[in-house]
Amino acid sequence: MQKEQISVFDMFKIGIGPSSSHTLGPWRAAEQFVQLLEEKQVLPLVEQLKILLYGSLAKTGRGHGTDIAILLGLSGDDPVDFEVDQVLPKTENIRSSKKLQLAGKKEISFSADDDLLFLFNESLPYHPNAVSFQAFLSDGTAVSETYYSIGGGFVVREGGHDNSKTEVDLPFPIETANNLLHWCIKTGLKISEVVMENELAWRTEQETRTGVLNIFKAMRDCMYRGCHTGGLLPGGLNVSRRAASLNRKLIGNRPYNNFDEWVMAIRQTGNSFQNILDWVSCFALAVNEENASFGRVVTAPTNGAAGVIPAVLQYYLVFCDGYSDGQIMQFLLTASEIGSIFKKGATISAAMGGCQAEIGVSSAMAAAALTECLGGTQRQVLMAAEIAMEHHLGMTCDPIGGLVQVPCIERNTMGAIKAITASQLALQTNPDNAKVSLDAVVKTMWQTALDMNSKYKETADGGLAVNIPLSLPEC
pLDDT in tens, 107-116: 999 999 999 9
**How far apart are the C-alpha atoms of 354 and 347, rounded to whole Å?**
10
Cis bond before residue 79 (omega within 30° of 0): no
Looking at residue 472, its pLDDT comes to: 47
pLDDT at 327: 98
Q: Please report the pLDDT score of residue 4 as a whole number.
A: 87
Rg (CA), the chain: 22
Cα–Cα distance between 66 and 73 in angstroms, integer? Answer: 10
Q: Which sign does the torsion angle of CA 339, 448, 284, 240 carry? A: positive
Hey, which residues does 240 pair with through a beta bridge? 232
Is 6 domain-assigned?
no
**Rounded distance between C-alpha atoms, residue 53 and residue 56, angstroms:** 8
Instruction: Give the residue from 361, 243, 348 showing the smallest Cα distance to 292.
Output: 243
- Domain contains 287: yes
Residue 212 and residue 125 share a domain? no
Q: What is the pLDDT of residue 159?
A: 84
User: Quick one: 211 exposed, middle or buried, by C-beta within 10 A (0-12, 13-18, 19+)?
Assistant: middle
**pLDDT for 275-325, tens place per residue?**
999 999 999 999 999 999 999 999 999 999 999 999 999 999 999 999 999
Please state, in angstroms and rounded to a whole number, the distance separating the CA atoms of residues 404 and 168: 36
Question: Would 3 be classed as within a structural domain?
Answer: no
What lies within 8 Å, CB to CB, of 178 at 6+ separation is: 437, 439
Same domain? For 47 and 196 the reply is no
Q: In this structure, are 331 and 430 located in the same domain?
A: yes
> What is the spatial distance between Cα 340 and Cα 385, in angstroms, rounded to a whole number?
12
For the chain, first and last CA: distance in Å? 43
Residue 150: which domain range? 18-157
Question: Does residue 305 lie in a domain region?
Answer: yes
Same domain for 205 and 149: no
Which pLDDT score is estimated for 117?
97
Distance, CA of 150 to chain centre: 11
Whether residue 191 is found in the same domain as residue 136: no
CB 409 within 8 A of CB 358: no
Domain co-membership, 261 together with 407: yes
- Please, what's the largest Cα pairwise distance for the chain? 71
Q: How far apart are CA 73 and CA 68, in angstroms?
A: 9
Domain count, the chain: 2
Q: pLDDT at position 475, please?
A: 28
At 469 the pLDDT is: 76
All residue ranges of the chain with pLDDT < 70 are 1-2, 161-165, 471-475
* 186 located within any domain: yes
Residue where a domain stops, chosen among 157, 189, 221: 157
Helix/strand/coil for 95: helix
Residue 434 and residue 293 in one domain: yes
Which pLDDT score is estimated for 167? 85
Query: What pLDDT, on a 0 to 100 scale, did the predictor assign at position 165?
Result: 61
What CATH number has the domain bearing residue 78? Answer: 3.30.1330.90
Helices (H) and strands (E) in the chain, counts: 21, 9
Residue 322 lies in a domain: yes
Task: Return d(Cα 289, Cα 197) in angstroms, integer.
Answer: 35
* Residue 35 belongs to a domain: yes
Cis peptide before 301 (omega within 30 of 0): yes
Is 198 exposed, middle or buried, given 0-12, 13-18 or 19+ CB atoms closer than 10 A?
Answer: buried
Sign of the Cα torsion 164, 166, 170, 173 reads positive
- The answer on 266 and 129 residing in a single domain is no
